[in-house]
Amino acid sequence: MSRIRFRQRQRLLTAGAGAVAALVVCAAAGIPYIYHIEKNYEVDRSGYEQQIANMDAERTSVFALTRNIQAGEEIGEDDLIQVQVIKATVPDNMLSSTDAIGRYAKVDLPQNTPVSESLLYDGEVTPNDLRNQEFRLIELPSRLQIGEFVDIRVKFPTGEDFIVLSKKRTENLSAGTLWIQMNEREILTMSSSIVDAYLNDASIYAVSYVEPGLQQAAKVTYPSNTAVLDLIENNPNIVEKAKTELERRMRSKLESGLDLLTPEDIQKYLNNKATLNPINPSNQDNPLFESSNESNTPSDFDNQTGNEGG
């Protein structure tokens, strides 16, 4: 019995010694390997840290936007701020403040966008005969905003449709009144189209551009009527008479449509408009928008929807 226990003890001791020897061998082989991995890690880490340090050290100044800029909007001095960025991330066509001021955005640019050559385009020199004009007789898109670009067109009962003014910026909008800038030639062309529309029961309307910074201005196709121009020259008051008549026709058309609306339809329209444009600077002067939370009768609505022509 004692021999059996002695043999078991010897086997256990032998197995333990073998296990210890195996651990020693593994440790002897593993420690250098672990040390090698740690050394490589430190080298890689040091390299990455050095690259980051170099990138941080190589910074440069660029000019970024301080606010959101709409397509076609001019860049002003207050719209730019100088910021420091990593040089490796900056393209070669960045602009200085002097190169960017006075130019126009090709597309909508969000705040903090660095300004580069590919994002802006040059505007035209202001001509001496440029004037601000306002019109109430033009049928406007219902969602037209200040700063958008439009073509002014005239459509005759025969189906003929001509471009009278091309790519005009909406300088202001209020209660159906549109403000645009026009030179002398455009003023005469527009006067001709107004009288033409008055004499031939035509309509004058506006269509907006989708990407004004990328789209070229449409070609003017309206041929000024010589007889109409002679009529304007002989009787300058005919232009104002035609404007008044076209405004009256637009008002009559609006009222005819409003007669078909119920108070529920009107309130639904006002609620939808408030939902679509909760914060809209161009609607600040719009009584329709301001009255979106009030109950409106057809007569109230009739007095509030002058800017919904078209």
What pLDDT digit, counting tens, does each position of 160-193 carry? 999 999 999 999 998 889 999 998 888 888 988 9
pLDDT for res 284? 43
Question: What pLDDT, on the 0 to 100 scale, is given for residue 244?
Answer: 82
Residue at token pair 């130019």: 103
Most confidently modeled range among 6-15, 157-166, 279-288: 157-166
Tokens 């002014």 locate to: 152
pLDDT average, residue stretch 297-309: 39
pTM: 0.56
| Residue 238, pLDDT score | 78
Q: Which residue has the higher pLDDT, 148 or 32?
A: 148
Per-residue confidence band for 294, with pLDDT thresholds at 50, 70 and 90: very low
pLDDT, greater one: 33 or 199: 199
pLDDT category, 212, cuts 50, 70, 90? confident
Mean pLDDT score, 244-259: 72
Taking phi over 0 as left and psi of -120 to 50 as alpha, with beta for the rest, 153 belongs to beta
Q: Which is more confident, 254 or 248? A: 248
Q: What is the DSSP letter of 281?
A: G
In this prediction, residue 73 has a pLDDT band, given cuts at 50, 70 and 90, of confident
Question: Regarding predicted confidence, which is higher, 150 or 292?
Answer: 150
Range among 7-11, 57-61, 144-148, 283-287 rated most confident: 144-148
Cα separation, 293 vs 310, whole angstroms: 24
User: H-type helices in 58-154, by residue range?
Assistant: 97-100
Extract the tokens encoding 131: 């004037």
The helix or strand, by DSSP H or E, that contains position 181, with its residue range, turns out to be strand 177-182
> 305 pLDDT band (50/70/90 cuts)?
very low
Section 287-306 average pLDDT: 38
| pLDDT tens digits along 136-168 | 999 999 889 998 999 999 999 999 999 999 999
CATH code for 59-121?
3.90.1210.10
Alpha carbon separation from 260 to 141, 187, 249, 254, 281 (Å, rounded): 21, 37, 18, 10, 30
pLDDT, mean of residues 285-298 = 38
Whether 278 has a pLDDT exceeding 60, the answer reads: no
Q: Positive or negative CA dihedral for 7, 12, 18, 24?
A: negative
DSSP summary character for residue 293: T
Of the listed ranges 40-54, 173-187, 260-274, 289-303, the one predicted with least confidence: 289-303
The mean predicted confidence, pLDDT, of the chain is 76
Q: How far are the Cα atoms of 74, 132, 170, 189, 190 from residue 184, in angstroms, in the given order?
A: 23, 11, 18, 9, 10
Distance CA 304, CA 99 (A): 44
- Where exactly are the structural domains of the chain? 59-121, 131-302
